[in-house]
Amino acid sequence: MATEIIIALITLAGSAVGTLGGIVINSRMSNYRIEQLEKKVDKHNSLIERTYAIEQHNAVVDEEIKVANHRIEDLEKISERKD
């Protein structure tokens, strides 16, 4: 009967080591995948921030164009009155 107990304990130890090893490997793989996703999210967020800055710049340029067009129209009106 002592042999059976020893075999059972060895089997239990083997199962425990295998299970813990699987958990550790799975945890490392999950952490690696999370890190890769975080890098992708950072790239995406950077792209969004740059796009927002470009949109703001375009809005300013559009406003400057409108102002310049109004100035040109005013100058053309003044030029037409002098002729």
Q: What is the CA radius of gyration of the chain?
A: 36
Predicted pLDDT of residue 79 = 80
Predicted pLDDT of residue 47 = 94
Q: Tokens 């002592």 sit at which residue?
A: 2
Predicted pLDDT of residue 37 = 97
Cα of 36 vs its chain's centroid, Å: 10
Q: What is the pLDDT tens value at each position of the chain, 83 positions in all?
A: 799 999 999 999 999 999 999 999 999 999 999 999 999 999 999 999 999 999 999 999 999 999 999 999 988 888 877 76
Positive or negative torsion for Cα 67, 68, 69, 73: positive
Quick check: pTM over 0.85?
no
Predicted pLDDT of residue 83 = 63
